[in-house]
């Protein structure tokens, strides 16, 4: 009778439910729930001001979202119609909680302390802490491109310790929001290897970074190890729905709930990707590249590699480009400026369409422009936020569509570079399959340019639910065959992953022409990013 | 009784008259006459198509303009109220004519031959010819920054010879339009040292480039020497108005007419500049820099140095930036695109104003951007049309006003580089005075940035008549004291030059801050323009 798995996707501004038919992969319901408090960047709900680069969330929003979405699942599938629940969430989205899971920000004593709240992934105020950890060049970073990020758990935790030591001391646990949601639903703290591996440097051989290293950063920092927890493989059962949540949701007590996963990573099973050599690209404001492999090696510049984190039994490599849609948005926003300074002259959508149409008519090379795609710095391979974008080849004849195409091509060169970097890893399978999702996958122009630049066939899915669907896949695995789901990941992925793709095949002539432009991109990349020039860093410093 | 000198300025789209009071410098009349045929870029008036990069004019337009403007002068000043006429004209604007001055394009046999028409300064179809001359590296180019230009007389004449040998053979004379206008008015062919020196490589020691050199380019090219003529100092009398022109104009026969001059150069006397160490900048779509000196030396990258060409007895150095207003126009045009693709969303004027106002609020450094101002290639110092512009430091936060300011700053860095190059010449007087005219002199934001970047006080004139006024000064000198004008150039310049300037003094703090950004500009300049990278040339070639 139970036919559906529920995938809950906790994003930046809202959470989303997708109810997936376990047998057919069909979608029975999709619901979006915007967070009442959204993202807190200027002040706490009580008005306490926040510093620059802060970005917090209210944990109550997650619970309200979960209740609403699970009730919708019960309504759509029927009380007995759901086999299991999977959850994905942004990461590293970190919160200090008490031993029973109570967020410190909901304890009166700490409610006015910004550090007691949930630090959203894009909280960027812990850069100094990240810099200090990086300066130590610890060996454990070899599997993380040599650097930790200010967005990750260690930098954020160290910021709490240094700026609010009593909050740090009061926090029995420091936990990812995704893991905390699982804890709330099941009553059991159960951490995910995906969050721990990619955002807290956990590796099975040695666990989290060791106490002696943490002590070099702050004498009390080794206490962090007591606040974490041993992580579990994704796709396994974290526990069953509590009696209280059965009441809140209208679903049965004990309903299997899967270990949490990172939102971008959930897109991998969501797209049904399961083979070594398959690259999944989640292309929105930025691009997240996820590659599956049988082997674990350190590749300089790659953001991380973690086993059992996406498909049990295989390793997942993660890389990223910090500005993709963001860079195109910047250009559209710039062109909109002439209107009246605040509102765009025409809708962004109309501008995107027109730029895309005109750019599509241009040959490779964007009318003589080559750009570096560093509108938000470089994530892979340089891991350097001080870098900024460059456009070369401008003349009085340069058109807005040429610039647009140059930005698209620059991000495609960046992706080609990521693919070549992955493939340079010893033993790594060649990238034979490329699946794409995210907002940019809807642009045929952009997809074709990516196919032509990389020389790979792209399978693009326009679903907005790839992550939620992936979470549902994990929900079905948590249920197991006995519970109406699946035991074998391959089977769950094949049945429940997206099957409708638009295929973009590389045009051989364009691909060969792009080899020349890619060489020019690499030349700029070396000069501004790898060479002796510190021009961009100096530009940033001069602005500070 | 006669009180006025008439200055006729033959520009690209129109000719202009200014009637200047010889004693007070006051303007009695200003009249503009648009050329009926404008600039011919696609076809001859009869429909004969033109190739890419062609730009021609109709010589009849010059005569119609002269007649109209001189009649207006006679009307405003009275028949006996004009002491003399001066003429400036765009250059190198070159025409093949018969021995009696008849333009070949007005001879039935040649009327359908594009090469029989007037090649306007911005006819760019003779690039191959210029390249070949430059490849020979002849010594005479030492005084011309090492390169001839496709815009100059030799390249254009060689193009006529190679593509229309019978037109070349039929041309008894190949003459600058300005010199031809003087010939028409006076009945005497009388060439200007300004045109010959700056556009035909004439120097008093050796005349025009010699026959043996020309023969290396084409066996018949030495015949060019028979088609030129010995040039005269500017500010001298070329002749008197013919009887026919007396009738056409309503002015007296024999009225003194001065030797012609180049339009940009006429701005020098127009601004009353007369001291060694005075730099005049004519800032419009591009910038022309003119420096007066007692000494003649070869400076690598400077476009030319010619004696007696601007102020008799002194040398004038010319340098240039190929895109100034053009680069800003490009940005405004780009921002206007969002409207509907053809018409700007708002008037360009309004956009310029708003960009200027917002850019004025920014500190030096344009929000972390540094650009290279090569939107039309580099004239001084690199003399390389293959170069193109670069913008570095872009981020998702970059605003249109920051880009605008970055373009202004880049052009100011280019000017600072020109000044430093001038001053590097052995014996050249330091630049102590800087006078500015042209459309961009109206922008207070831009002028202040130039003062801050260069560390020099700017005297900006907003007159649109600087060149016509300069031509009038030469008209008064042609008349001489006996004829109601002047014998001494200094006196004419002091009395008749512009006296109203807006002064922009450098802010010491900004100037010191700009030293840092100028160093970054120089670093980019070296990398893309002087270093090993051929990136921009390759980009151009890939587009061809």
Query: Span B267-287, mean pLDDT?
Result: 95
Average pLDDT, chain A: 95
- pLDDT for position B126: 95
B544 vs A contacts (CB less than 8 Å): none
Q: Do B336 and A338 touch (CB under 8 A)?
A: yes
- pLDDT for position A346: 57
Q: Which chain A residue shows the shortest CA-CA distance from B352?
A: A338
- pLDDT for position A1: 61
Q: Do B393 and A528 touch (CB under 8 A)?
A: no
Query: Span B146-164, mean pLDDT?
Result: 96
Beta strands B315-321 and B287-293, pairing class = antiparallel
Does position B343 have pLDDT exceeding 70, yes or no? no
Beta strands B433-437 and B118-119, pairing class = unpaired
Residue A475 tokens, joined: 């929900």
Q: Do A330 and B398 touch (CB under 8 A)?
A: yes
Q: Of A330, A339, A399, which is closest to B338 when you measure between CB atoms?
A: A339
Greater confidence (A254 vs A340) lies with A254
- CA–CA separation, A262 vs A90, rounded Å? 6
The DSSP 8-state label assigned to residue A52 in this structure reads: T
A400 vs B contacts (CB less than 8 Å): 334, 337
The C-alpha of B525 sits at a distance from chain A's nearest C-alpha, in angstroms, of 12
Query: Span B104-109, mean pLDDT?
Result: 98
Q: Is B197 exposed, middle or buried (0-12, 13-18, 19+ CB in 10 A)?
A: buried
Query: Span B490-504, mean pLDDT?
Result: 96
- CA–CA separation, A185 vs A191, rounded Å? 13
Q: Do B335 and A339 touch (CB under 8 A)?
A: no
ipTM value for the complex: 0.91
Q: Of B327, B394, B527, which is closest to A375 when you measure between CB atoms?
A: B394
Which of B324, B384, B396 should be substituted to probe chain A, the one whose Cβ sees the most A Cβ atoms within 10 Å?
A: B396
- pLDDT for position A535: 84
Q: Which chain B residue shows the shortest CA-CA distance from A517?
A: B539
Average pLDDT, chain B: 95
Q: Of A375, A393, A394, which is closest to B396 when you measure between CB atoms?
A: A375
- CA–CA separation, B26 vs A314, rounded Å? 87
Q: Of A326, A344, A346, which is closest to B396 when you measure between CB atoms?
A: A326
Q: Of A346, A393, A524, which is closest to B338 when you measure between CB atoms?
A: A346
- pLDDT for position B386: 84
- Summarised one tens digit per residue, pLDDT across range B114-142 is 999 999 999 999 999 999 999 999 999 99
Does position B484 have pLDDT exceeding 80, yes or no? yes
- Summarised one tens digit per residue, pLDDT across range A484-521 is 999 999 999 999 999 999 999 999 999 999 999 999 99
- At residue A452 the predicted structure's pLDDT band, cuts being 50, 70 and 90, is very high
Query: Span B370-382, mean pLDDT?
Result: 94
Percent of chain B at pLDDT exceeding 90: 91
Helix (H) or strand (E) holding A15: strand A14-21
DSSP-assigned letters across all residues of B215-281: HHH-TTGGGGGGG---EE-TTSEEEE--HHHHHHHSS-TT-EEEPPEEHHHHHHHHTT--STTEEEE
Taking phi over 0 as left and psi of -120 to 50 as alpha, with beta for the rest, A276 belongs to beta
Q: Do B523 and A533 touch (CB under 8 A)?
A: yes
B403 vs A contacts (CB less than 8 Å): 334
Does position B216 have pLDDT exceeding 60, yes or no? yes
Residue B292 tokens, joined: 């007066």
Q: Of A338, A524, A540, which is closest to B368 when you measure between CB atoms?
A: A540
- CA–CA separation, A398 vs A331, rounded Å? 14
Q: Do B376 and A367 touch (CB under 8 A)?
A: no
- pLDDT for position B34: 97
- CA–CA separation, B538 vs B544, rounded Å? 10
Q: Tell me how far apart the terminal alpha carbons of chain A are, to the nearest angstrom.
A: 62
- pLDDT for position B340: 53
- At residue B342 the predicted structure's pLDDT band, cuts being 50, 70 and 90, is very low
- Summarised one tens digit per residue, pLDDT across range A408-424 is 999 999 999 999 999 99
- pLDDT for position B91: 97
- pLDDT for position A344: 47
DSSP-assigned letters across all residues of B66-78: HHHHHHHHHHHH-
- pLDDT for position A537: 82
Q: Of B345, B398, B527, which is closest to A339 when you measure between CB atoms?
A: B345
Which of B284, B337, B373 should be substituted to probe chain A, the one whose Cβ sees the most A Cβ atoms within 10 Å?
A: B337
Q: Quick check: B428 and B314 in contact, CB under 8 A?
A: no
The C-alpha of A331 sits at a distance from chain B's nearest C-alpha, in angstroms, of 9
Global pTM reads: 0.91
CA distances in angstroms from A204 to A38, A197, A218, A230, A305, listed in the order given: 35, 9, 25, 10, 12
Q: Is A267 exposed, middle or buried (0-12, 13-18, 19+ CB in 10 A)?
A: buried
Query: Span B30-50, mean pLDDT?
Result: 97
Q: Do A334 and B335 touch (CB under 8 A)?
A: yes
B535 vs A contacts (CB less than 8 Å): 370, 392, 520, 523-524
């Amino acid at each position: 009778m139970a036919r559906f798995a529920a995938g809950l996707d906790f994003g930046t501004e809202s959470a989303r439910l997708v109810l997936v038919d376990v047998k057919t992969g069909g979608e029975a319901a999709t619901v979006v729930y915007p967070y009442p408090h959204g993202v807190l960047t200027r002040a706490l709900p009580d008005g306490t001001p926040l510093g620059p680069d802060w970005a917090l969330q209210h944990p109550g929003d997650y619970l309200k979202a979960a209740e609403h979405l699970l009730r919708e699942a019960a309504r759509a599938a029927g009380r007995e119609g759901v086999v299991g629940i999977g959850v994905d969430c942004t990461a590293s989205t970190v919160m200090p909680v008490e031993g029973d899971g109570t967020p410190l920000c909901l304890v009166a004593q700490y409610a006015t302390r910004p550090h007691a709240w949930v630090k959203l992934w894009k909280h960027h105020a812990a850069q100094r802490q990240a810099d200090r950890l990086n300066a130590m060049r610890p060996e454990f970073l070899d599997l993380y491109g040599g650097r930790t990020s200010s967005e990750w758990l260690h930098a954020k935790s160290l910021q709490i310790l240094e700026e609010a030591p009593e909050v740090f001391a009061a926090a029995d646990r420091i936990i990812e929001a995704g893991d905390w949601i699982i804890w709330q639903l099941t009553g059991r703290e159960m951490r995910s290897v995906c969050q721990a591996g990619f955002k807290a440097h956990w590796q099975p051989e040695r666990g989290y970074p060791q106490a002696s290293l943490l002590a070099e950063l702050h004498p009390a920092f080794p206490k962090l190890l007591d606040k974490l927890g041993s992580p579990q493989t994704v796709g396994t059962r974290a526990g069953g729905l509590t009696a209280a949540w059965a009441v809140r949701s209208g679903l049965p007590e004990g309903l299997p709930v899967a270990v949490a996963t990172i939102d971008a990573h959930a897109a991998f099973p969501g797209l049904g990707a399961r083979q070594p050599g398959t690259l999944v690209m989640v292309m929105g404001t930025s691009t997240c590249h996820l590659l599956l492999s049988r082997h674990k090696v350190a590749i300089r510049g790659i953001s991380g590699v973690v086993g059992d984190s996406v498909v049990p039994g295989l390793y997942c490599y993660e890389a990223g480009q910090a500005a993709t849609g963001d860079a195109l948005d910047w250009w559209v926003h710039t062109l909109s400026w002439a209107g009246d300074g605040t509102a765009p002259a025409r809708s962004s959508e109309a501008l995107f369409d027109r730029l895309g149409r005109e750019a599509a008519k241009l040959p490779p090379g964007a009318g003589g422009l080559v750009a570096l795609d560093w509108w938000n710095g470089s994530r892979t391979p340089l891991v350097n936020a001080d870098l900024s974008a460059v456009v070369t080849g401008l003349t009085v004849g340069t058109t807005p569509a040429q610039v647009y195409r140059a930005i698209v091509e620059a991000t495609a060169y960046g992706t080609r570079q990521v693919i070549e970097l992955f493939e340079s890893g010893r033993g790594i399978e060649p990238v034979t399959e490329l699946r794409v999702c995210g907002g940019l996958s809807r642009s045929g122009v952009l997809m074709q340019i990516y196919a032509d630049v990389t020389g790979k066939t792209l399978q693009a899915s326009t679903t907005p639910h790839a992550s939620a669907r992936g979470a549902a896949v994990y929900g079905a695995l948590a249920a197991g065959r006995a519970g109406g789901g699946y035991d074998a990941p391959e089977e769950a992925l094949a049945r429940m992953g997206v099957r409708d793709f638009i295929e973009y095949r590389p045009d051989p002539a364009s691909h060969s022409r792009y080899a020349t432009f890619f060489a020019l991109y690499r030349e700029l990349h070396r000069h501004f990013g790898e060479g002796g020039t510190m021009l961009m860093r100096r530009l940033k410093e001069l602005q500070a």
